[in-house]
Structure 1
Amino acid sequence: MANVLVVDDSSTMREIVSSYLQQHGFEVTLATDGRDGLLQLKADPGIKLVISDVNMPNMDGLAMAEKIRTEQGNKQVHIIMLTTEDNPVMRARGRAIGVTGWIVKPFRGDAVLGPFKKFCGLV
């Protein structure tokens, strides 16, 4: 059972983020886009943190976050957007949907390790 879901259409980013998290005690599941992310989240009730890109084919990260909160009714999972987007309008849309945090790439694991561990109950 995973405690983190990493959603990104870039295999390189999925590998960078998942490798870092696994080295620090997280169990990680991967998804290639928002649609795949919803399926993975539904299949594993142990996921406590979703780290997602915004811009992806099939379903973007914000649409996925909205479906997590509305269609799946999941208010407990923390959702972090890890993206190149630094647009205030997008950030505001994310907050309105229920996104927990927004990180502009590149991924700096040491800067977020503490909060991620708290989100997943590893502290």
Structure 2
Amino acid sequence: MTATVLIADDEPNIVLALEFMLKREGHRVLVARDGAETMQRIRQENPAVVLLDATMPGLSGFDICEAVRADPALAGTRILMLTAKGRETDKARGLGAGADLYITKPFATSELLGKIREMLA
């Protein structure tokens, strides 16, 4: 099943690894490296899933999540927060902002792919 997936992360190594993995799965992959670019891509491309880092230049992942959920045209966008912020308060903040899932880095590739498949099903 081909879907458009947006990787919103400012760490080049993470982006490269995720991009390779998702393209191998047959997905169309878009990349955004800061908060403003992420919002622009979500509005223009309407991705099926956004892999969203919490800490990026400009808008944070938490801010982006809230903005997407507040916009009726984007409210159906699936958001998986993928971040190094692993404290329970961070997780609660991400889910409270509207993330569908919250996974901390480092992550198991197979687990992440499984979660993305579930979100697309």
TM score, norm. by length of structure 1: 0.87
Displacement, 1:72?
Answer: 5.6
**Percentage of matched positions with identical amino acids:** 27
Instruction: Tell me which residue corresponds to 1:12.
Output: 13
Taking only aligned residues, the RMSD between alpha carbons, in angstroms, comes to 1.8
Q: Give the AA of the match of 2:94.
A: G
Do the aligned partners of 1:2 and 1:44 also contact (CA within 8 Å) in 2? no
1:106 corresponds to 2:106: yes
Q: Could you give the per-residue CA deviations for residues 19-45 of structure 1, whole angstroms, max 9, x where no partner exists? A: 111111111100001211110011112
Do the aligned partners of 1:3 and 1:120 also contact (CA within 8 Å) in 2? no
SS of corresponding position for 1:5 = strand
Do the aligned partners of 1:7 and 1:30 also contact (CA within 8 Å) in 2? yes
Q: How far apart in 2 are the matches of 1:118 and 1:25?
A: 15
Q: Give the AA of the match of 1:105.
A: K
Q: Structure 1 94/35 Cα, relative in aligned 2: closer, same or farther at 3 Å? A: same
Instruction: Tell me which residue corresponds to 1:42.
Output: 43
Q: How far apart in 1 are the matches of 2:36 and 2:108?
A: 26
SS of corresponding position for 1:106 = coil
Q: Where does structure 2 lack aligned partners over 5 or more consecutive residues?
A: none
Q: How far apart in 1 are the matches of 2:81 and 2:8?
A: 9
Do the aligned partners of 1:33 and 1:61 also contact (CA within 8 Å) in 2? no
Do the aligned partners of 2:83 and 2:104 also contact (CA within 8 Å) in 1? yes
